[in-house]
Amino acid sequence: MPSTFVFTDEMALVSNQLWMFTSIIGASMCFFVLLLICIVTLHPVSRPHLNRVSFRILAFALAVNTVFGIVNAIGGSFTGPTWTCGFTIWILQVTLQLSSFLMFSIALNMQLVIVHGINGQRMEKFYMLGSIAISLGVTIPAYATKQYGWDPLVLDCWYANSQSKIGTQLFWTLLTVLGEMTSSIVVVTYMFKNRTPGGLNSSSTDQQQSSLAQNDQFLNYASRYKKVLARIALYPLASMIINLLSVMCVIHATVTGGEHSMNDYRILLLSDFLYGGRAVVYALLTTADPAFLAAWKALLGYERNRHSSTWSHSISNNDHHISNCRSQIPTHQSKQAIQVNFKTIHHDDTGLELDTFERDINGKVRKVSLHESVPHTSQHSAQEHTPELTSTEVKNIIRTPPFQSTGSPQCNGVYMNPRAKDDEHAQALEFRKQI
């Protein structure tokens, strides 16, 4: 029984309006998020939080999707073939391909940094320039041969020759989907297999040991920032899903040769929604990015503290009065009101010396040396200048850990240089900048 479905002008108008309105919403959201990024980028307090390769690529992709949404809205407003129709679709295809390649670059960067140990900041310019070059190289020949224009199958401004979609759009879009999927699988598999660093083999060469140590270090940092990596992986994952569904819709429209049933019409509406709404997805994902949230948290905290400083200044006179009262306390009382910050112990040829750093009630720090002499020194003389320290007390002082779990110095603990811990923290932050 032949189908009675007829693709009317009203259906074509609904399709164009869906495409146009979702594009306007997506472009507006991307533009608004870009303004928020500019605000936190201009402020020196919040700017360091955005220093990450994937976030800069994402910000560039947001700008591209803003243009994509604008030309989408313009393309959905055409009702017939014009020269501006073909030019608009060319801009649309350039921004579409550029956005897809930028999302693929985020997935590729994670693989190169985590698996292969390549510096992501050095590769950043190649991600940007390579995506631009490929996008222009794919779309300029199609525009020069007038492949973009009015599509009589869907009564819309799209492709003048539907067969050219395969080489100019579908192939490269599927290629980015395959690349995103491959890079994600490689990273997940590598982290799963090496979730417990294997350590170094004594029989390995120095070069192999250095390579293994570097891999263990990258795995340690990747495990530390696994939540950040999971958020970053959402960008290529969303791009992969949207592009795959869009390609399936385009293939269906090409194979069927138009809309001949209600099912074909629903797939057309889905395609319009995917092309117009992809900018909305990227804008929402950006607002949930850890770097974006951390930057705004730092900026709002700074502004909150700056406004509260006015209240602090209003009570400064009271603090000055209290300070004057403290200065009138007798000297023998201020010497008794002390607070021990930390102690250091060292031993030389004359005996064991305990350096105690004390803070009196006026806030001044002074050093008091307690000395336990060796046997040839008079015991009576030593007791006159310092209290006796039993062997158990000395051992307890030496064994006291210098840092708590938070890294802060511990009272009565032995002071140790935290430079090694600071270096490790700096290396972890450097790794975070590369992903």
Domains in the chain: how many in total? 2
Cα separation, 344 vs 349, in Å, equals 17
Residue 209 scores a pLDDT above 70: no
Has residue 309 been placed in a domain? no
One domain for residues 254 and 346? no
Question: Among residues 284, 303, 322, which one ends one of the domains?
Answer: 303
Report whether pLDDT(397) > 90: no
- With bands split at pLDDT 50, 70 and 90, how would you rate the model's confidence at 180? very high
Domain span holding position 351: 331-417
Worst-scoring range by mean pLDDT, 157-161, 187-191, 288-292, 359-363?
A: 359-363
Phi, psi of 341 (to 5 degrees): -90, -55
Q: Considering the domain boundaries, does residue 246 fall inside one?
A: yes
Q: Is 60 domain-assigned?
A: yes
Is 22 inside a domain boundary?
A: yes
Q: Of 69, 125, 58, whose CA–CA distance to 95 is shortest?
A: 69
Asked if 281 and 367 sit in the same domain, the reply is no
Same domain for 340 and 298: no
Residue 247 has pLDDT above 80, yes or no: yes
| Domain identity same for 30 and 162 | yes
Q: Mean pLDDT in the chain? A: 75
Identify whether residues 217 and 266 lie together within a single domain: yes
Instruction: Enumerate the H helices of 115-196 as residue ranges.
Output: 120-144, 165, 171-193
**Residue 393 placed within a domain:** yes
Does 29 share its domain with 158?
Answer: yes
**Does position 178 have pLDDT exceeding 90, yes or no?**
yes
| 413 secondary structure, DSSP code | P
Task: Residue 59: name the closest of 93, 86, 81, 36 by CA.
Answer: 36
Give the pLDDT of residue 3.
62
Cβ proximity of 124 and 434 under 8 Å: no
Give the CATH number for residue 69.
1.20.1070.10
**CB distance 291 to 232 below 8 Å:** no
Question: What tens digit of pLDDT does each residue of 301-332 get?
Answer: 998 888 887 666 655 555 555 555 445 444 44
410 shares a domain with 296: no
CA 18 remoteness from chain centre: 33
For residues 278 and 276, what is the distance between their CA atoms, to the nearest angstrom?
6
Judgement on whether residues 299 and 336 belong to the same structural domain of the protein = no
Has residue 417 got a pLDDT over 60? Answer: no
pLDDT confidence bin for 296, thresholds 50/70/90: very high
Assigned domain for 428 exists: no
292 shares a domain with 367: no
In a domain, 14, yes or no: yes
The number of residues making up the chain comes to: 435
For 55-99, how does the pLDDT look when each residue is reduced to its tens digit (9 = 90+)?
A: 999 999 999 999 999 998 887 777 778 888 889 999 999 999 999
- Please determine, for residue 414, whether its predicted confidence score (pLDDT) is greater than 50: no
Tell me, yes or no, whether 353 and 235 share the same domain: no
Closest by CA to 26, choosing from 58, 77, 89, 70, is 70
Same domain, 278 and 371: no
Instruction: Please tell me whether residues 278 and 341 are part of one structural domain.
Output: no
Distance CA 172, CA 23 (A): 22
Query: Considering the domain boundaries, does residue 173 fall inside one?
Result: yes
Residue 19: pLDDT over 80: yes
For 146-173, write each residue's pLDDT tens digit. 888 888 777 778 888 766 676 778 889 9
